[in-house]
Structure 1
Amino acid sequence: MIQTVIFDMDGVIVDTEPVHHYAYHQHFKELDISVSDEIYASFTGNSTRNVFQKVKDLFQLEQEVEDLILRKRHLFNDAFDSKPDLYLIDGVEDLIKDLYANGFQLIVASSASKSTINRVFNRFNLHAYFSHIVSGEDFPKSKPHPAIFEHAASLSIHPKENCIVIEDSTNGVQASHAAGIYCIGYTSVNSKNQDLSLASQIITDFSEINAETIKKLG
């Protein structure tokens, strides 16, 4: 019986991708580099640190990765605070409240930085529902490496076989699969060109699942 639900954040709880896209591309413009749509799509599910390690290697940048991260974070925070049309993904708030009311433990495991996760959680008052926040910035390797989900499962008060992951990215689904955790793949209109074929099941709308149906999974 499933008792712990591990949520990805970007594309699952909230769509911050347009803000990230704006911040990254403003930064790429400042760096005078041209990052193709194909290369950018391959970054989905990676931490900012891993993105800039790849960008630095690819474009032979002289800047330190930490400096690149700080500049992008500044651009993101400015855009995040000024963007009025930032909403939770349709149906996810109802799902979170339903799971919480039915005694599920909820954990977020996101490639985003702690500051970004907290920014989102503060804006939408989500802290009360989640027992733990796990950030990809604490791990040397990003999804599809399973470390982030293995750690999230270790924080669960229930065994790993009683946990599931909800993900919307190729890298995230692969990470959950590698960690041996049942994965619900969410086909988000905001996450383009993602391969969810390794997911245990795929949904297109959060109304397709609830506390009762999730409890029976695994």
Structure 2
Amino acid sequence: MIKTVIFDMDGVIVDTEPVHKYAYYEHFKQLGIDVPDEMYSTFTGNSTKNVYQKLRDTFGIDTETNDLIRVKRNLFNDAFDTKEDLYLLPGVESLIKDLYANGMQLILASSAANVTIDRVFTRFNLHQYFTHILSGEDFAQSKPNPAIFIKAWELSGDDKSECVVIEDSTNGIKAAKEAGLFCIGYDSVNSKSQELGEADVIVADFAELDYQKIRTIRNTLE
């Protein structure tokens, strides 16, 4: 039986991707670099640190990674604070509350920076539902490296067979599977460029999930 659900944030709980994309491309203009869409799509599920390390290597940027992150983060924060049409993804709040009310442990394992996670969780009053919050900036490597999900599993106190991950990105699903965890792929309108085939189950609507379904989701496939 599943006892812990490990959530990704961007693309699963809230779609901040348009805000991130705006901030990145504003910064790319400042840096004078041309990042094609194909390259940008590979950034999904990566930490900001790893994105800028890749950009420095690709474009020969001399600026230190932390300084690049600071500029992009300021651009993101300015846009985030003025963007009124930022909502939780359809159905996810009801799912979180249903799982929490039934005693399921919830853990966040997001590639987003701590400050971004805190902004989202504060704006939507989500801290109360999660026992642990993990940010990709606290790990040396981003998804698809499994480190963040291994740590989430360790913090859960449960067996791997009692944990499930909800992810929407290729890198996130690869990381969950590499960590040896059951993974639900969320096929949202925002993840069409992502390959979800490695997920154990794929859903297109959170209405397909509730406490009872997640609790026994592994059993339905055995």
- Residue by residue over 1:179-204, the C-alpha shift from the partner in whole angstroms, topping out at 9 and shown as x without a partner, is 01000000111123100111000000
Aligned to 2:45: 45
Structure 2 match to 1:187: 187
1:58-101, Cα deviation, whole Å (9 max, x unpaired)? 00001000100000000000000000000000000000000000
Q: Secondary structure at the match of 1:166?
A: strand
| Corresponding residue number in structure 2 for 1:64 | 64
Equivalent in the alignment of 2:54: 54
Task: Give the Å deviation of 1:5.
Answer: 0.1
Letter in 1 for 2:49: R
Which residue of structure 2 lines up, in the alignment, with residue 92 of structure 1?
92
* Amino acid in the other structure paired with 2:216: K
3-state SS of the aligned residue for 2:55? Answer: helix
Distance 1:73 1:4 in 2: 31
**3-state SS, counterpart of residue 183 of structure 1:** strand
Q: Does 1:80 align with 2:80?
A: yes
Partner of 1:102: 102
Shift of 1:106: 0.2
Aligned to 2:131: 131
What is the DSSP-based 3-state SS (H/G/I as helix, E as strand, rest coil) of the residue aligned with 1:78?
helix
In the TM superposition, residue 161 of structure 1 has moved relative to its aligned partner by 1.4
Count, aligned residues: 218
Counterparts of 1:145 and 1:129 in 2: how far apart (Å)? 26
Superposed CA deviations along residues 21-42 of structure 1, whole A, max 9, x for unmatched, are 0000000000000000000000
Counterpart CA distance in 1 for 2:184 and 2:10 is 15
Displacement of 1:158 in angstroms is: 1.7
SS of alignment partner, residue 28 of structure 1: helix
Matches within 5 A, 1:1-218: 1-218=1-218
Consecutive unaligned residues of structure 1, counting only runs of 5 or more, are none
1:93 partner amino acid: E
| Amino acid of the structure 2 residue aligned with 1:204 | A
Paired with 2:191 and 2:206, the residues of 1 have a C-alpha distance of: 15
Identity of aligned residues (%): 64
Offset at residue 48 of structure 1 (A): 0.1
RMSD over equivalenced CA pairs, Å: 0.6
Give the alignment's TM-score, normalised by structure 1: 0.99
Could you tell me how far apart the structure 2 residues matched to 1:95 and 1:170 are? 23
Query: How far, CA to CA, are the matches of 2:44 and 2:122 in structure 1?
Result: 23
Report the Cα offset of residue 2 of structure 1.
0.1
Q: Which amino acid aligns with 1:18?
A: P
Helix, strand or coil: the match of 1:109? strand
- My pick for the range that moved more, 154-163 or 97-106, is 154-163
Q: Which amino acid aligns with 1:213?
A: K
Question: How far apart in 1 are the matches of 2:39 and 2:154?
Answer: 33
Hey, what's the Cα distance between the residues in 1 that align with 2:174 and 2:197? 9
What code does the residue aligned with 2:42 have? S
Question: Which stretches of structure 1, 4 residues or longer, exceed 6 Å deviation after superposition?
Answer: none
CA shift digits 1:162-191 (9 cap, x unpaired): 000000000000000100100000011112
The Cα of 1:217 is off from its aligned counterpart by 2.1
Q: Which amino acid is the alignment partner of residue 47 of structure 2? A: S
